[in-house]
Amino acid sequence: MANDVKLRTTPSEITNIEDVWVLHFPRFGKEGTHYHTYGMLTPYFKGLTEGRLMATRCVNEACPISNGHGEKWLPPRSDCPDCHQPMQWAQITDPHGYIYSYTFVERGGTGLEVECPYYQIDVKIEGVCTILKGYLLDRKPIKIGDKVKAVFRTESPTNTCLDIAWQLL
């Protein structure tokens, strides 16, 4: 990823068990490694490392809200919140959107892995019914409504949600 804002993180290792990722997150050094599984959301995190943004949508015709034609959700849900049936994976091709809201983070708390200062932004993407939180690579002044596109950390991925960032268009 080109640009200003950098990450200060040790990439997490992954154990792959039957296509399900288990993350080894060295939050407090090697002895303090935190293990957790991405479970059914593994395709989302794996997709980020391969430059793909994967959402989910409800295709259950009996769903009282979607009637089988659900909008995309990001971050994805494995089951529909309305009908509790499994959702279907759907790639967002050419992921871009606009800044829905933002915070300029000047000082981060302990363990923050994004180099300050940076903009934490909420991105609205057409066809997605939720707002996706992320960070902006640019540091110049921004405003609500500015257009952004997704950038993926496919080289030396962290294997976390930090593998997607946004860049001003």
Residue 42, phi then psi, degrees to nearest 5:
-50, -40
Q: 18: left (phi > 0), else alpha (psi -120 to 50), else beta?
A: left
> Is residue 90 part of the contact set for Zn ion (CB under 5 A)?
no
> Is residue 148 part of the contact set for Zn ion (CB under 5 A)?
no
Residue number, 66 or 158, with CB nearest to Zn ion: 66
* Count of residues that bind Zn ion according to CB under 5 A: 7
Report whether 125 contacts 96 (CB < 8 A): yes
> Is residue 125 part of the contact set for Zn ion (CB under 5 A)?
no
Binding residue (CB under 5 A) for Zn ion from 27, 82, 116, 139: 82
By CB neighbour count within 10 A (0-12 exposed, 13-18 middle, 19+ buried), where does 18 fall?
exposed
Binding residue (CB under 5 A) for Zn ion from 54, 83, 137, 162: 83
**117 upstream amide cis, omega within 30 of 0:** yes
> Is residue 56 part of the contact set for Zn ion (CB under 5 A)?
no
Footprint on this chain of Zn ion (rule: CB under 5 A) = 58, 60, 63, 66, 80, 82-83
